[in-house]
Amino acid sequence: MKTKSATSLWVFLFGIGLMIVAVALPTSPALGQDGPADNMQILREKIKADKKLLVAANMELTESEAKNFWPVYENYQKDLDEINQRIARLIEGYAADYRAGTLTDEKAKKLVDEFVSIEQADAALKASYVPELSKALPQKKVVRYLQIENKIRAVVRYDLAVSVPLVY
């Protein structure tokens, strides 16, 4: 049986996934101008705040757990952002070659190498934060947090998979 919290999680995950994809993919040529850049920054901050709210609503932290958890969460998000930027650059590069019809075997090999490197960095990042999370939280809540992160990333990856065309 789904709880209200679990249902809220799924609804929110879908929305946050769409927003993250919108932010991660190239925006517009006007990005260098003050208006659109400011709007994108506002959107990024909203996504971060909404994600944090989602995590808070589903973690059921005590005061002492929250005091220990949130600094670890913030550091993890900062490091995760670097991985997300790599994914965005990878997609941008592929999109440019796809649109121009210039994807060669050599470029495809570089895409594969970078994709595998990103996947390894993502796994290594998760593994590197488990000890810190384990100091901040009981193990069941460590698992819960990693599940929440995994669900969010799964939604984002699904949205990306749907929107990125196959190599031809």
Residue 33 sits at φ, ψ, to 5 deg, of -80, 155
The two structure tokens encoding residue 38: 């400011």
pLDDT at 27: 42
pLDDT of 1 > 60? The answer is no
Say what the pLDDT of residue 31 is. Answer: 39
User: Taking 70 as the threshold, does the pLDDT of residue 81 lie above it?
Assistant: yes
CB 118 within 8 A of CB 112: no
